[in-house]
Amino acid sequence: MRKVIVTNIVLIGGGLLLANLFYQEQMGLNTILFSIPILVMALAKHRHKAPYSLEVSISAAATFLAALAVVGNASALAKVMYWISLLTFLGFIQHQYLRFIPFAFSAALGSLALLPKSLYQSWSRHIAGTTSIHQLSRQLLRLIIPLGLFSFFLFIYYLANAKFGEIIDNILAQFSGPSILQFNGSQVLLFLLGFTLFGAGLVLSPLGDFFSALQEKFGLKLVRKRQKRWFEISFNPLVLKNRFKIGLITLAMLNGLLFIVNLTDLFYVWLSRRPLGAVELSQYVHEGTYLLIFAILLAAAVVLFIFRKNLNFYPDNEGLKRLAYLWIGQNIFMVFSVGQRNFQYLNAYGLTHKRIGVFIFLLIVTVGLVSLYLKVRDRKSIYFLLHRNSWSVFTILLVASLINWNLLITRVNLHANFIQHLDVHYLVVKLPAQNAFLLKKNEALISSQLLVHQAYLNSRLQEKVEHAKQKKNFRSWNWPYYLNQKYFKTCLLYTSPSPRDRG
């Protein structure tokens, strides 16, 4: 019973902590201040499982790194990766036999949804184990009577003594606003979120058994199946031989076609020195890139379809495998060609989030194609592909969230190489106020590039500067905010008149 009471007190404390840190605040330093207690609490609760699994250790480190990324750059990607990492950690710490990120993430979401049921079952077990209702009531009275009397007299003293009431209001202002009776929907939702997040780390959910059983059905290695069925035709060796021949012809034809496409890219993308115009480059990238990416994903699906079931164990299938390796290799070359197209566009017109996103996606696709090669070579299962690539995507996005792309884009685009095609509208309007100090520092350069909508862009730039100058609570503090405050404070010191000038 004592453990249940302590657990509920911790959950309430977690709700109050989240409500206090995030109410009317943005994600910043408060993310780290929330992460440390929930990580420590969850690891301490499950210390009997130590040494923790590799997945628990990695997801815990990823959660803290993502929290640092939120403080370091406050980007949307960093914030999304923080919540994904935290939920993944909560899934792995509860169910350390899980290895698959989607299962751990789903288990954590299930724990959040089923927390009321889990708490009720926990209370019910302790009530059922009590020898009598009288004994249970005595245990409850030991808590209820002192807390009730304490709350009653606290309320009386709060109303009777103005100074004492002022002290209580100052204390409770950190949690619920300026008055003891003031709460709103946002605070309640934040409290419930903190309560359930702590609960997902401390209260065991039955969903882990479900996902564990589901995970056991999948293996990393393929197993040859020799099942007897009513319709033997599907297992006829002649059918398997026909599938082998069809796969051989298909991959041979597709490799020939892709060779011509890659040869075209080799001459016109890699070796060509002809400068491309703005319209041609834009069409080259925007229309061609997405179709090629779709073709690469479809190519992976073709290999998965051909190397399904017992065809992986067909004797003398090395020729088919070599064609698959060539097909995968040519698709990797096409990935690099798409990257080269994107780089040419970037080199002419500077960085944007979409162009960076294309590079990140191409990296993910490359890793996926390499894992597809391993799947064919080592007779791995589709679960192997999903497991390997889920971790790859998670790692790549986590690393990407550590970089402040907004400041990097602004610095690169303000470089002398990109001034001719500087997209002022993108830097001023599309990017958040993090880059305000860089834009203000290069205001003369930006003004010289304003050919249209000059008044509008100047007003938007001034709005961004004013927004960046606004003071923040320490809970919302982040590194871009610090850089803006430092720059504008320095400018203010240099522009303020000295006492002698005032005289």
Query: Over its length of 503 residues, how does the chain's per-residue pLDDT go in tens digits?
Result: 677 778 888 899 999 999 999 998 999 999 999 999 999 999 998 888 778 889 999 999 999 999 999 999 999 999 999 999 999 999 999 888 889 999 999 989 888 888 887 777 766 666 555 555 555 555 555 666 576 667 766 767 777 777 777 787 777 776 554 444 445 668 888 898 999 999 888 887 777 778 888 888 887 776 666 555 444 444 456 677 888 888 899 999 999 999 998 998 888 878 877 766 666 666 666 666 777 778 888 888 888 888 887 777 777 788 889 999 999 999 999 899 888 888 888 888 889 999 899 899 999 999 999 999 999 988 888 899 999 999 999 999 999 999 999 999 999 998 877 777 788 888 888 899 889 999 888 888 877 776 666 778 788 888 888 888 888 889 999 999 999 999 888 876 555 454 444 44
Burial of 312 (0-12, 13-18, 19+ CB in 10 A): buried
Q: Where are the domains of the chain?
A: 2-216, 241-380, 417-502
H-only helix segments in 307-442: 318-349, 353-377, 382-401, 405-413, 424-425, 436-441
Q: How far apart are CA 471 and CA 487, in angstroms?
A: 14
Exposure string (b/e) for 99-136, b if CB count within 10 Å is 16 or more?
bbbebbbbbbbbbbebbeebbeebeeeeeeeeeeeeee
* Cβ atoms 38, 374 nearer than 8 A: no
3-class DSSP state of 230 = coil
3-class DSSP state of 221 = strand
Beta carbons within 10 angstroms of residue 172's beta carbon? 16
H-only helix segments in 203-269: 207-216, 237-265
Quickly tell me which residue has 């006829």 as its tokens.
Answer: 236
* Cβ atoms 340, 372 nearer than 8 A: no
**Global model pTM greater than 0.95:** no
Cis peptide before 51 (omega within 30 of 0): yes
Q: Which residues contact 33 (CB under 8 A, 6 or more apart)?
A: 21, 475
